[in-house]
Structure 1
Amino acid sequence: MKITEHIQNAKKPLFSFELLPPMKGQSIDQIFEAIEPLMEFEPPFIDVTYHREDFIYKKQPNGLLEKVSTRKRPGTVSICAAIQFKYKVDAVPHLICGGFTKEDTENALIELKFLGIDNVLVLRGDARKEDGGFIPETGGHSYASELIEQVINLNNGKFLHEEYSGPNGTDFCIGVAGYPEKHFEAPNLKTDLRYLKMKVDMGAEYIVTQMFFDNEKYEKFVTLCRENGINVPIIPGLKPLTTKKQLTLLPKVFSIDIPEELADAVADCKTDKEVREVGIEWCIQQSKGLIDLGAPCLHYYTMGKSDTIRRIGKAVF
């Protein structure tokens, strides 16, 4: 079922969450262990992220360094298939530009259709750690809008090679990312909203936001979206603080603000255990506030760990 249909059919706010694929060498059991404790909240869908390849440098016998591409995680497509088979809930794979050619993307979409997966979250994706900025794959896409166009084309039966085009296209519901505090590369929020509207006008059907810690920013973001003609569901993304290190790490990595009240409370903690309790309570209150604001679904970034999200879910849902 499509995410938009889940939202339309819901009689109360929905609970969903996002998983990180396990590291190479680990089994699907790590995924199931993260999912099991959260199934009591009846998530209609579960997102599975994708991380593009990194590079390592291997020293050769001649003393020179060889740059080698490595993928550290199992395939998102196969994990989505396992989730849908075992739990009978919709798995939503992240589809990214980085590391994929257009052919790779089309093959992945064909495979997703074959597996009965109805939704994709379309993202440009992050730059590799060693790159100064985002570098697209040769023969791939540079922007999420280009990736959306390819999905839309396939939905309309238009394949990369004309001889395969016809009535057997796909029917994916397309989600995109939204940034209540603007994307870090956008010069301002107005510009960011213009690009977001372009994606929605192209065919994106729902938005999932970057994490934030101040509900006023979500409320303002939704208001601005509506004023700019963006009328699709906007799902807030949430993550509880769990370590003091995140006070500086999260703003640096995700270009977000930590409210003074939360930052002060975390700064006063003597241990990460205390930080975790502060973070959980803040997220509980934030979740309740978002429900009061009319959020259609609360989407939690688990980072592969479910214990804190389970405590939040039991207090909210």
Structure 2
Amino acid sequence: MKVIEHIDKATNPLFSFEIVPPPRGSSIQDIVDVVDMLAPYNPPWIDVTSHPSGAFYNEQEDGSVTRRIYKKRPGTIGICGVIQNRFKIDTVTHLLCRGFSKEETEDALIELNFLGIHNVFALKGDGPNYNKKISAGRTTNQYASDLVSQIEDLKQGRFLDNINACSPLDFSVGVAGYPEKHFEAPNLNNDIVHLKNKIKAGADYITTQMFYENQHFFNFVEKCRAVDITVPIIPGLKIIRTVKQLQSVPRHFYVNFPDDFVNEVLENPEHVVELGIAHAVKQTQELLDAGLPGVHFYVMNDAKSVAKVIEKVGWGRVGAF
């Protein structure tokens, strides 16, 4: 089932999750264990992130430095296939512009279609840390709206090589929204203009970047609706587990923490796990009380805290819409 269909048919709050592939060399069992912990909460879908190849440098015994290019976390499509077909949970595969050609993207979408996966999430993505040369005759998507347009073409049976009588590939497409604006945008209003371009290109719904003050989300939704963005907007939350994350999360994701939460964690660092869960419970409760269809949790393979939040909120209750 497509994400948009889950939203349309839901009668209870929807708790969806996002996980990352394990590091290269790890076992698929690492992901299976995480999904096993999440499955009892009947997630309508699970997102699996994607990462481009990167350049990694190693100093040898003789002092020379070697460079290898590889994916630190490979396996996105394979993991999606396991979740979709073993656990019977719909998966949302993340697709990136940066680091991938249009031809590679088309191949990935064909593979996903063969696996019975019909949900994708279109992202510009972080640029590779090296200059990846595109082979002659190949092209790239510069922006997420370009990637959405390519997926929309495939939904109409229009492939890159103009093959006659092609079968269309049926996908539901999600895109990212940033309640505190994308770090590359000059301001939030300009960022929402780019977001609307993604919707015009064919995106079906929006999942937001994490935020820690719900008013950021409510203001963001209001601005989106004011410019006729009418698709569902799903709030994304990440639970804090360490004091160190008070620095690392803003640095990597360009979000802010409320003063009272920061002060409480710094005054009681030994209770950071409990405080992170309590803050997420408060956010989730307020979002559901406001009539949101559900919440998307950035699990990042730490399922225990997410499970505690859902249980404290009252998983499976009726009437949150």
Q: Secondary structure at the match of 1:50?
A: coil
Q: Structure 2 counterpart of 1:313, which letter? A: I
Report the Cα distance in structure 1 between the residues aligned to 2:66 and 2:145, rounded to whole angstroms. Answer: 34
Report the Cα distance in structure 1 between the residues aligned to 2:255 and 2:120, rounded to whole angstroms. Answer: 25
Q: Secondary structure at the match of 2:269?
A: coil
Q: Equivalent residue for 2:125? A: 125
Q: Equivalent residue for 2:282? A: 285
Q: Secondary structure at the match of 1:122?
A: strand
Structural mapping, 1:164-183, within 5 Å: 164-183=163-182
* Structure 2 residue 107 is the aligned partner of structure 1 residue 107: yes
RMSD: 1.7
Q: Structure 1 counterpart of 2:312, which letter? A: A
2:273 aligned residue (251, 273, 276):
276
Report the Cα distance in structure 1 between the residues aligned to 2:61 and 2:194, rounded to whole angstroms. Answer: 49
Identity %: 44
Q: Equivalent residue for 1:153? A: 153
Q: Equivalent residue for 2:319? A: none
Q: Equivalent residue for 1:70? A: 70
* Structure 2 residue 85 is the aligned partner of structure 1 residue 85: yes
Moved over 4 A (4+): 58-66
**How far has the Cα of 1:140 moved from its partner?**
2.1
Q: Equivalent residue for 1:4? A: 4
Q: Report the TM-score, using the length of structure 1 for normalisation.
A: 0.93
Q: Equivalent residue for 1:296? A: 293
1:48/1:58 Cα in 2 relative to 1: closer, same or farther (>3 Å)? same
Q: Structure 2 counterpart of 1:202, which letter? A: A
Report the Cα distance in structure 2 between the residues aligned to 1:314 and 1:61, rounded to whole angstroms. Answer: 52
Question: Is contact 1:157–1:165 with CA below 8 Å preserved after alignment?
Answer: no
Q: Secondary structure at the match of 2:158?
A: coil
Question: Is contact 1:100–1:137 with CA below 8 Å preserved after alignment?
Answer: no
Report the Cα distance in structure 1 between the residues aligned to 2:133 and 2:49, rounded to whole angstroms. Answer: 19
Report the Cα distance in structure 2 between the residues aligned to 1:62 and 1:249, rounded to whole angstroms. Answer: 35
Q: Equivalent residue for 2:97? A: 97
Structural mapping, 1:1-317, within 5 Å: 1-58=1-58, 65-128=65-128, 130=129, 138=134, 139-162=139-162, 164-271=163-270, 274-316=271-313, 317=315
Report the Cα distance in structure 2 between the residues aligned to 1:62 and 1:268, rounded to whole angstroms. Answer: 48
Q: What is the CA deviation profile of residues 155-188 of structure 1, one whole-angstrom value per residue up to 9, with x for unaligned ones?
A: 11110101x2434011100000000000000000
**How far has the Cα of 1:61 moved from its partner?**
10
**How far has the Cα of 1:302 moved from its partner?**
0.8
**How far has the Cα of 1:83 moved from its partner?**
0.5
Q: Structure 2 counterpart of 1:32, which letter? A: V
Question: Is contact 1:45–1:92 with CA below 8 Å preserved after alignment?
Answer: yes
Q: Structure 1 counterpart of 2:306, which letter? A: I
Question: Is contact 2:185–2:191 with CA below 8 Å preserved after alignment?
Answer: yes
Question: Is contact 1:98–1:136 with CA below 8 Å preserved after alignment?
Answer: no
Question: Is contact 1:98–1:137 with CA below 8 Å preserved after alignment?
Answer: no
Q: What is the CA deviation profile of residues 224-270 of structure 1, one whole-angstrom value per residue up to 9, with x for unaligned ones?
A: 11111100000110011111111111111111110011111111123
Question: Is contact 1:43–1:89 with CA below 8 Å preserved after alignment?
Answer: yes
Query: Which 5+ residue runs of structure 1 have no aligned equivalent?
Result: none
Q: Structure 2 counterpart of 1:52, which letter? A: P
Q: Report the TM-score, using the length of structure 2 for normalisation.
A: 0.92
Which stretch shifts more, 70-79 or 43-52?
70-79
Report the Cα distance in structure 1 between the residues aligned to 2:233 and 2:194, rounded to whole angstroms. Answer: 15
Q: Secondary structure at the match of 2:191?
A: helix
Question: Is contact 1:99–1:137 with CA below 8 Å preserved after alignment?
Answer: no
**How far has the Cα of 1:113 moved from its partner?**
0.7
Report the Cα distance in structure 1 between the residues aligned to 2:179 and 2:132, rounded to whole angstroms. Answer: 25
Query: Which 5+ residue runs of structure 2 have no aligned equivalent?
Result: 316-321
Report the Cα distance in structure 1 between the residues aligned to 2:200 and 2:207, rounded to whole angstroms. Answer: 16
